Amino acid sequence: MATLRSSGRRLALAVLLAGVPGVAAAQRPALPTAGLLRVCIDPNNLPVSDSLNQGLENKIAQLLAETWHSKLQYVWWRQGFGYFNRGLNGLYCDVDITAPEGMDIVATTKPYYRSSYVFVYRKDSGLNITSLDDTVLKHLRIGINMIGSDGDASPPAEALKSHGVVGNLVGFPPFFSDINPPGAVISAVADKKVDVAIVWGPIAGYFGAKVQAPLVMNPILSDPKTGIPFSFSIAMATGRRNKALRDSLQTFIDQNRDKLDGILHSFGVPLLPLADSSASAGASSAKTGR
C-alpha cells in the first residue's frame, strides 16, 4: 500500500502541476540581487498565472514585491519536468509561488493553503456525490483530465478504474492552451455534455464562477480504497540552499495570511483547513524531480 500511495501522490502532483516542458530562453542564471524579485511563472496557466497578470500567482507575487519594496521580474517558464529544480536551483529565478508542501528538491515554506480535487455537477441534476465509492458513478458521463497514452495515468482515472468505473469517462487534455482551455471540462458540466467532473479545486472554483449554470462542488479528500491522495497543501519555494530566502518568505506568509486568503477567495479556490494537513494522505513530503 505504501508503494501505491507514493505512486498515487506522484500521479496526482503530475496533474496538479502538469504543463508543456519549456525553458526561460530569454533569461540567464544569476545569484539573487537585492531589490529584485525574480519569480518563475507560467505565461498561460489560469487560474494560477498568465502573461497578462490575471492569475492568483501574479497577484501574490505583486503583493510580495510590494511588501519587500522590490522590483518584480517574471521569468516565463512553462511548467514541466525540471521546472522547480532547474528554475530555482539553477538560479534562473528566486521564488516559486506554488509548490507542493515538503518538496525535498527545493526549500519550501510551511503551506499557506490547502485544496483538493472536487466533484462538480449541476445543482439541478438531482445528484449528491461525495465519495468515489458511490455506485451512481458507474452510470454517469464523467469528465476528467487525462494524461498518458491510454488516459489512465491521472489520479481520478486510476481511482475510478479501481472502483470499477470504466467505459464512461470523457477525457479532457490537462495541458493549458487556447485550443484546450482548462475550463472546458467545467463548461461541459454546465452544458450537460457530461454529468459530473472530477477536477482540481482551484480550476473548478475559478471556471465554475464563469458559467451560467449553478454548480455543486464537493471536495474529495482521499480515496482509502487506493490510497491515492486528492488533497494537497501548497507552499512557496526557493532554491534548496537558500534557506534565508525561504525563511523570509515564511515571515511574509505569516504576516499576510489575511491578504493571501483574500486573493485565494477572489479566485474561487476551495480551501481546506491547514490544521488537518498532517493527518491527510496527501500531506506527506513530496519527493519528485520536477
- pLDDT tens digits for range 180-220: 777 899 999 999 999 999 999 999 999 999 999 999 999 99
CB 72 within 8 A of CB 39: yes
Q: Could you tell me the end-to-end alpha-carbon distance of the chain, in angstroms, rounded to an integer?
A: 24
CB 144 within 8 A of CB 156: yes
pTM, full prediction: 0.84
* pLDDT tens per residue across span 143-163: 998 765 444 557 898 899 999
Read off the pLDDT of each residue in 162-188 and give the average, rounded to a whole number: 84
Percent of the chain as helix, strand, coil, to the nearest 5: 35, 20, 45
Q: Coil, helix or strand for 282?
A: coil
pLDDT at 16 over 60: no
Q: Pick the more confident residue, 279 or 81.
A: 81
In percent, how much of the chain has pLDDT > 70?
79
Q: Map out the domains of the chain with their CATH numbers.
A: 2-113+233-279 (3.40.190.10), 116-229 (3.40.190.10)
